[in-house]
Structures are given as structure tokens and as C-alpha cells.
Chain A
């Protein structure tokens, strides 16, 4: 019997007014697998993640985590499911009003009721895991560079040892070297934790480095999915145009002259 997928999306649809963003997304992520969703801006990558996290409710379809239907969960039930998930946001989304260590320990203190002293020790360990020293823990988010913010965001995502990790555009806004440092850290932490990872990105270098499998989202549907090694011979015109960054092809960008 095939193992229950860690995450499963079946026919997920979401629209905002007249604009159809997700038009029946089907996707499965196996336990311990790292799946990348690629696609251009505005194709519904972030909406997909937000639907899985319960930040948005799909109009139709079913979302399962560990075989449990989480599509319409709310309140304590949703908090129970979200406790399995850690997320690195695109802009890191660090809490400005808390020092770095409290940001990292937030899930332990507020989510799991840990005492502040032991939570701080765990936070400093998580910071060390992403290459940041204890003195960074006493700094404020406003004092950090873009790369450091991403590292702190990663430390916060992994601090409570979640089973699932989401990465929203982890390398956007970083220089290529720092982008690769973040990619390395993601690969290392996901591997060490044995976590299941779902990443959305349009950075192909990042996708190739951190993913086992890639799925391409276009006009609210998965138009291709397969192992990372097959991406260059997918035989899919949408994928070929996207990974080579060509203006000509079946993907039409909404550009006004």
C-alpha cells in the first residue's frame, strides 16, 4: 500500500471576484519529499500555500495533511494542524516588536507554552543551525540585513521542529551568493529534520538545488510535474519557456506597451 501523502491537494479552486486564481490544483507531496512549485508572478503559487495553511479558504476542492481533511478547519483544530508546519515567508515576516531570539522562540513560547528560559536556549540553537551567533539573538529585526532576516526566518520556521516546512520565495531579493547560502541551509535543515518541504519560487537555481520534484503552475493548474532531473527534458512547452526565461512561447505575460 502506498504511504499516505503528507500533503494532498485535490481539485483546489480559488477565485477573487472575477479573477480565477486556482482552477483545480492537484498535487501530492510524499513524507520526507521536497517539492517545488514554480510559476510566474500571479499564477497562484502563494494562494496555494495560503490555502494549505488555512489563511485562505478554497472555493472548492480538498486539502489533506497526513490524510486528514483540513480544508475547513478553524480555531483550535487549525492551530493543532499548523503546529506541524513551519514557514519561511518571502520577506521573513519577523515581528518588529520582539528581539530576534523571541521571534525564533515565538512558536515554542506562545504556540507550545514553553517557558522563556528553555525556549531561549532552543532559539539560540536554531540560530546557530543557520550560522548566526548568540549576539544576533539580542538584536532587533530592523537591525538585520536581508540575508540575516531570511536566516532568522528560517531559524524561526525550524525551531519548533515541525514535520512540514513551507518556503515562500526563499531567495527573492538576495544576491546570488546569499541566495545559495540560504539554499544550502534549507537543504541541510530539511535533511537533518527529515521534514517534508514545499517551496514556491521562480528561481530555477534554487528549485534545482532544494527540490526532489518540481511542479509547474500556470493559469491556476499544475501543467507539469516530475523529478528535478527531468525538468530539462520535460517536453512541456510551458516548462521550457519558463526555465529558459524566454519571452516567446505559450505563456503570455500581461504586459502593456
Chain B
């Protein structure tokens, strides 16, 4: 049927991309665990991904926590459950909004930068030059970024959790007039270790996704400046979609019962 053929072709193309991505990820992981290692490059990438993302992730978490407190207060007021605000803020931030918002912000900031840098290296033959200088580009470019993404995002998200909860606290105390000691008590009362740990596991997965997609699209960019632009866009869009998809599956694995 002529209607089904394009659908089939698109599906096969999708499978081919998934296969290429899986092979790329496997090669990246393989090179990350085998020597030689590049600790200097890992450190540099950790600074790039973690330290320089702190302002944007911190601000996002702060305002998210503040808005969450306002929204949940106005919603819960309808059935006299205002006292749940602190609990809702801390659970939402640690389980969901901390890792997802940080992941998306890092995808926009870091994923794009990685794709643009590696893409430019591809189109200006710098990646070929690495090979001619007896240096494996996967080991030198991909592995340090994957390791840095995997390690740094959980730290970033832990800080985002603290800042986000603090944002909710500020609104709770100064605008909604909660008692500070009571707000803090409610924040801790129903918080479990698993809430934080699940968020950190998500963060590690999102860090891997963002760096992987940045490297993959940069590595496969073609055709000069326009190709690098396309690679950058694809890196941000695909890592954002994958973050949201992975978020569901990790949530289901932890809390799906």
C-alpha cells in the first residue's frame, strides 16, 4: 500500500538511527573504561558542565521552588490542605523538578556547546587530525564528556534540590506566612532517602543523555556551518525528548509498584 510505505521507511530510518546511536554509546562507554585515561580533560569538562551551569540551574531551581509553593498553596487552599505545601515542594523538587529542570537547562547549555564544538572539529578536519596523531577521537573527545556528564549532573541536581526547597521556603515564610520552624519540620517529616536518591539516579542518566547526544550529533555533522547548526539543534531537541522519556521510565522503575 502506498500509504504504508513512507511509514515503514520512516520506521526503518528510526531503527537505523537508534542502532547507530547504540553503537556510538557502546564505543564511548568502552573507551571510557579502558586506558589511556584523560583526567585533565575529564576535570575540564566537569567544570564546563557543572560549575559553569550552576548559575542557570540555581536560578531555575529557585524560581521553580517559589512558584511551586505559590501554586500548591492556592490549589490546596480549596480543600484546606495548605499545610501540605512544604511536603509537596520538597517531594516535587527532589523527585521530579530538580533533575528534569536541571537536565533540560544543561541540555540547552552544554549539549548545544558540545555538539557545536565537536561539529566544528569534524568539519574543519580536527577529528581527522587527532587520528593522524595516533589519538583515538572517542577516547579524547567522547569518553571525558560522558564521564563528566554522568558524575557532575547528580552533584548539580543535589544543589538544585537545596536551592529549590529554599525557594519554596522563602515564599512559604515571607509571602504565605508559614511558621519557619513548622515549615522546616514539614519539609523533613515526609521526605525519604529514596526521594533524593531517585532524583540523583535520574540526574546521572540525564547527564549521560545530554553528553551522548551532544557528542553523537557533533561527530556526525556534515557540510560546514549549516551542518554544525543542524547538529546543535538536533542535540538539544533529541536530548530534551530523551530526558522526558527516560524520566518516565526511571520514575516507573522507582515508584511504579
Q: Which of A57-115 contact B (CB under 8 A)?
A: 75, 78-80, 82-83, 85-87, 89-91, 93-97, 106-107, 110-112
CB distance A54 to B131 under 8 Å? yes
Chain A nearest CB from B34 CB (Å) reads 10
Q: Which of B112-164 contact A (CB under 8 A)?
A: 117, 120-121, 124-126, 128-129, 131-136, 140
> How many A residues touch B, CB cutoff 8 Å?
29
A54-B131, A87-B129 given; A93·B124 CB < 8 A: yes
> How many B residues touch A, CB cutoff 8 Å?
15
Chain B nearest CB from A176 CB (Å) reads 24
CB distance A83 to B134 under 8 Å? yes
Which chain B residues lie closer than 8 Å to A86 at the CB level?
Answer: 132
Most chain-A Cβ atoms within 10 A of its Cβ — which of B121, B126, B134, B140? B134
Chain A nearest CB from B214 CB (Å) reads 15
Which chain A residues lie closer than 8 Å to B126 at the CB level?
Answer: 93-96
CB distance B128 to A89 under 8 Å? yes
Closest residue of B by beta carbon distance from A53? B132
Closest residue of B by beta carbon distance from A89? B125
CB distance B140 to A110 under 8 Å? yes
CB distance B128 to A82 under 8 Å? no
A91 partner, pick from B117, B124, B135, beta carbons under 8 A: B124
Which chain A residues lie closer than 8 Å to B128 at the CB level?
Answer: 50, 53, 55, 89, 93
A-B pairs under 8 A by CB, number: 57
Cα distance, A91 to B124, chains bound together (Å): 7
B134 partner, pick from A91, A93, A107, A156, beta carbons under 8 A: A107
CB distance B135 to A85 under 8 Å? no
CB distance A79 to B134 under 8 Å? yes
Closest residue of A by beta carbon distance from B38? A110
Chain B nearest CB from A227 CB (Å) reads 28
Chain B nearest CB from A69 CB (Å) reads 19
Cα distance, A162 to B161, chains bound together (Å): 54
CB distance A106 to B135 under 8 Å? yes
CB distance A93 to B135 under 8 Å? no
Mask: chain B, 189-209; 1 = CB below 8 Å from A; 0 = not: 000000000000000000000
CB distance A53 to B131 under 8 Å? yes
Known: A89-B125, A91-B125. 18 other contacts (CB 8 A): A53-B131, A55-B131, A75-B136, A80-B134, A82-B133, A89-B128, A90-B125, A93-B125, A93-B128, A93-B129, A94-B126, A94-B129, A95-B129, A96-B120, A96-B126, A110-B133, A160-B133, A166-B132
Can you sample 29 A-B contacts with CB below 8 Å? A50-B128, A53-B132, A55-B128, A55-B131, A75-B136, A79-B134, A79-B136, A80-B134, A82-B132, A82-B133, A83-B134, A85-B132, A87-B129, A87-B132, A89-B129, A93-B125, A93-B129, A95-B121, A96-B120, A96-B126, A97-B117, A106-B133, A106-B135, A107-B134, A110-B134, A110-B135, A110-B140, A111-B133, A111-B134
Nearest 7 pairs of A and B residues by beta carbon: A111-B134, A93-B129, A93-B125, A107-B133, A79-B134, A87-B132, A110-B135
A residues with a Cβ closer than 8 A to B are 50, 53-55, 75, 78-80, 82-83, 85-87, 89-91, 93-97, 106-107, 110-112, 156, 160, 166
